[in-house]
Chains A and B, each alone.
Chain A
Amino acid sequence: MAKMTMGLFSGSLDRLTAAGVVLGGAAADDMDVDLFVLLQGARAFKKEIAEDPDQLRLSENDHLREEFLESLDRLNVSPWLEFFRQAKELTNVTVHICGLAGKIWGGEKLEDFVDIADDICGIGEYLTSAEEADIHLFI
């Protein structure tokens, strides 16, 4: 079974959505996925922020944010977190939150993050995972 490691640096709505679609594809393919949530990503994964799109911007063309959200709605595209939840239900996805990034945004414990987060980790684990993966993406 193929293994994918994803470094999710971004906490922007558009990149989180793209990452979610990629995870969906990986889930359809039964890949094992190690997801490492890094700096801005860790902020987006905080409990009080994850489900509130008003807290997140677009990485590019943020002036088109409303149009982007309306289009997602019209096209029946799930909110980004739903992609992550669904992928986790369908395949083996482990969500690691970078400990330093968590602290930067005031998240010390696993409970400070959304329920799909599995553990708080360090950089060594990310690199070891990437070294062993068939696919490594950094978003």
Chain B
Amino acid sequence: MDSEELRGMEVDELVDARGTACPGPLLAAKKSLGKIDSGQTMEILSSDEGTKRDVPKWAKKKGHEYLGTVEESGYFRIFIRKK
């Protein structure tokens, strides 16, 4: 999905992990994934540069769909769909 589509998406779960250090955003994503059902979407906000690569890799490894990342000023919005 392109940035515009992602920005306009209504997600089922929003996880704000800004201000936490590695592996904080990854763990927050894992915890919140338990709150949504298969096929639902989740957006993770992170200000940690490493997370931008970590979360997509983790999601793919676990079989979830990585939808894309939007870069805002000072943080990232990472979108995934639960398998």
Residues of A with Cβ closer than 8 Å to B?
A: 21, 24-25, 27-29, 75-77, 86, 90
Cβ-Cβ contact count across A and B, 8 Å cutoff: 30
Interface contact B27-A27, CB-CB below 8 Å: yes
Interface contact A28-B21, CB-CB below 8 Å: no
Give, as a whole number of angstroms, the nearest-CB distance from A32 to chain B.
15
Restricting to B1-38, which residues have a CB under 8 Å from any CB of A? 19-24, 26-27, 29-31
State in angstroms the CA–CA spacing of A28 and B17 once bound together. Answer: 15
CB neighbours (8 Å) of B27 from chain A are 24, 27-28, 86, 90
Interface contact A29-B23, CB-CB below 8 Å: no
CB neighbours (8 Å) of B29 from chain A are 28
State in angstroms the CA–CA spacing of A24 and B27 once bound together. Answer: 7
Interface contact B30-A28, CB-CB below 8 Å: yes
Chain A binding surface, main DSSP class: helix
Give, as a whole number of angstroms, the nearest-CB distance from A108 to chain B.
34
Per a CB cutoff under 8 Å, which of B19, B21, B24, B58 touches A29?
B58
Known: A28-B58, A29-B58, A29-B61. A90 touches B19 (CB 8 A): no
Interface contact A25-B21, CB-CB below 8 Å: no
Smallest Cβ-Cβ distance to A74: which chain B residue: B21
Interface contact A25-B19, CB-CB below 8 Å: no
Interface contact A90-B31, CB-CB below 8 Å: yes
State in angstroms the CA–CA spacing of A76 and B23 once bound together. Answer: 11
Interface contact B26-A24, CB-CB below 8 Å: yes
State in angstroms the CA–CA spacing of A78 and B28 once bound together. Answer: 14
CB neighbours (8 Å) of B19 from chain A are 76
CB neighbours (8 Å) of B24 from chain A are 24, 76
State in angstroms the CA–CA spacing of A75 and B25 once bound together. Answer: 13
Give, as a whole number of angstroms, the nearest-CB distance from B26 to chain A.
4
Give, as a whole number of angstroms, the nearest-CB distance from A40 to chain B.
24
CB neighbours (8 Å) of A25 from chain B are 23, 26
Interface contact B61-A21, CB-CB below 8 Å: no
Per a CB cutoff under 8 Å, which of B21, B30, B31 touches A75?
B21
State in angstroms the CA–CA spacing of A111 and B1 once bound together. Answer: 54
